[in-house]
Chain A
Amino acid sequence: MAEPVADLAANAELPEPDVAREWLATMTLIRRFEERAGEMYAKAKVGGFLHLAIGEEATIVGSTRALRDQDYLISTYRSHGHTLARGSDPKRVMAELFGRVDGLCKGRGGSMHMFDLERRFMGGYGIVGGNLPIAAGFALASDYLGLDEATLCQFGDGASNQGTFGETMNLAALWKLPVVFMITNNQFGMGTSLERHSAVTDLLRKGEGFGVPGMRCDGMDVQDTYKVTLEALRIAREERRPVLVEALTYRFRGHSMADPEEYRTKEQVDEWRKRDPLAVFGSRLVEEGVMSADEREALDAEAIERIDGAVAFADASPHPSPNELYDDIYVLGDQVRGWYSIDERTSTPHRGEDERGMTENLPGHADYERAVGSSETPPAEIEKPADDAQRDDG
């Protein structure tokens, strides 16, 4: 287990005040979003799995701020922060968690599968290691088309043990692709600690044998993460060499909401919480006169207000209609005129999304109504909690 690496970059020069404020604002937005998402999960407004990135905000914001608008970002099932950092509207991210039509993916992806093409956030992916080849594919297309784009691929320490890790490192180096692979090393693959899942624990070295040099940044420090990622992207873009960046960080919450955290001690979590990126960076901005304490509070209040709005928006957004069940499986055209599955409830082969009306009469419709009904909560119950005890300020 790595010790908290304090002060690696604490003395690094701050960016311009506007930039520093924006970084803090975005990290705060992500923190408050994640906290509220956790609360909504507890209220059963959010289904499935929910993986929060609380503690990892500096890694998220520092790395994504090194990207240009035309660059691609691709992430994992822990990606609310990445899509928010890329500029996605928190309303639509929350609506996706709620499974509603106004969600980024119309309620079909959920927490693990965010996507925002317009902002070149190219997805959260639920299969550990599954996104690495796809990231290399983006870089291949950029290279093939002669475009000045780079790809930043985020994955966790656990993914560095997948076969796709070695395969993708090799191919990216072999084909000189403009891609940066960033291991968000939060030191656990689910509940298995780094030294129990990886023979090599200096993860920045794991790409070397495949021709991908490694760099490391302090993932609890937004400025250091930014600087290292910026340099890695420069190498990828200008020198046409992929780079592996290890961002050493820590998640303060469990792997998912269903994690009793029996694999680590409270003392260890507390030790890392002392380095809470939000608290450390926020205090520094105040100490160095970039903003006043009041301004810092105001920035936090603004984030909370936006999240309040996001929850209200998500709750008001309708569930997807039964008619949408078969939408977007295929791109329709001359030779693919509709979905081509057999619905076990009808014994009738469906032909064409233009016959969508037939879905209304499916025997399963009543089940749908029940599912919609079960997640309706009286508005009073979804108001934000009054006390600030839920806040994860470290």
Chain B
Amino acid sequence: MAVMRYREALNAALREEMARDENVMLMGEDIGVFNGAFKVTAGLLEEFGEQRVRDTPISENTIVGMGVGAAMTGLRPVVELMTINFSLLAMDQIVNHAASIRYMFGGQVKVPLVVRMPQGAGHQLGPTHSHSWEALFLHVPGLLVAVPTTAADAKGLLKSAIRDDNPVIFIEHEYLYGQRGEVPDDDDHTVQFGQAAIRREGSDVTIVGISRMALTAARAAKTLSEKHGIEAEVIDPRTLRPLDLDTILASVRRTNRCVIVEEGWPHGGVGANLAALVSEQAFDDLDAPVQRVTGADVPMPYSKPLEQLAFPHEPQVIDAVLATIKPRR
């Protein structure tokens, strides 16, 4: 095991996969000479050259579209978008093209494309750089969606994403880039999509945390244990498509309570979707309604205190857990 930052783990994944397969190539704004807006691609231009690490103009839709075309004809492109907000400019290529092409052309081609992007609030970047939109991509059949939380998962999932023959939306988190974690030394360390991680075992309540919220959930679980005598099981799904619903349902069937924590908006969110699934599949096992803790239903404000109010923190998770145990009056 080596201790490294989340961004370094991503960097290692890219480097190893590029060394492993010469058809893996990178495209993105400022990923080369500038080393990446968040330094994820640092050093790769120097190591692999301009043919394989390509700085692009600011043309999100076309960069992704070129990735789609190149993926259809033999390459395994990894496209970096600077933030998830900018991915909206590329939605046509992601949804109408990357996700649909295999299906609408009767399975004649595959689109082994990875589109990486960071999301998340906390850096006072305001309403055009800070959102959490895994729900937008989860909505789309044909895409795979990864939301790694730890350095080890960042590396293992990115390697799996690059090797997979499907288009993958790989959602990183700006706050997590600097977080350290243990990462297996093995060059072939991969994390398979569709396998949730149980971050903490517990028998009283299941907390599902998405992306950074898996960490928030884990902190809340510690406090719940120390101050309230409640043992929470914390599950990090790691990928939303495919979703390891079995692990979540098995946990809920033991704990009989479920809280879902996400940073994104409440309406049509990942939590809304998951709450529906849990209610459909495990209704008889639930002792309380499924609770959701979500980002506030607002565009992200710039003001530091307002921004902090706009995404979930430990106390809200604790309140939600307590609500499943002592129903609100």
Contacts and interface: CB of A to CB of B under 8 A. Distances in A.
The answer to whether A and B come from one shared complex is yes
Interface of A: 72, 103-109, 113, 115-117, 122-123, 125-127, 130, 132-142, 144-145, 163-164, 167-168, 170-171, 174-175, 327-331, 333-337, 339-342, 347, 349
Interface in B68-86: 68-75, 77
A347 B280 contact: yes
Nearest to A135: B69
Given A109-B104, A130-B65, A141-B75, A167 B57 contact: yes
B67 A137 contact: yes
B105 A133 contact: no
Contacts of A140: 66, 69-70, 75
B103 A171 contact: no
B43 interface: no
Interface in B82-110: 92-93, 96-97, 101-110
Q: Can you list the 4 inter-chain pairs with the closest CB atoms, starting with the nearest?
A: A137-B69, A133-B65, A328-B107, A105-B106
Chain B contact surface mostly: mixed
A336 B242 contact: yes
Interface of B: 23, 25, 51, 54, 56-57, 59, 61-75, 77, 92-93, 96-97, 101-110, 112, 141-142, 144, 160, 164-166, 192-194, 241-243, 245, 277, 280-281
A358 to B, nearest CB: 16
12 contacts: A113-B104, A130-B97, A136-B69, A139-B69, A141-B70, A145-B74, A167-B61, A328-B102, A330-B166, A335-B160, A335-B194, A336-B194
A175 B25 CA distance: 14
Chain A contact surface mostly: loop
Given A127-B96, A163-B61, A171-B66, A141 B108 contact: no
B101 to A, nearest CB: 7
B108 A115 contact: yes
Contacts of A130: 65, 92-93, 96-97
Contact of A123 (B25, B63, B105): B105
A170 B56 CA distance: 10
A144 B25 contact: yes
A329 B73 CA distance: 18
A171 B77 CA distance: 16
Contacts of A175: 54
Most chain B CB within 10 A, of A115, A140, A168, A170, is at A140
Nearest to A175: B54
Nearest to B75: A141
A375 B110 CA distance: 31
B25 A132 contact: no
Contact of A329 (B56, B68, B142): B142
A363 to B, nearest CB: 16
A122 to B, nearest CB: 7
Contacts of B241: 340
A174 B67 CA distance: 16
B66 A137 contact: yes
B72 A122 contact: yes
B277 A349 contact: yes
Contact of B57 (A174, A347, A349): A174
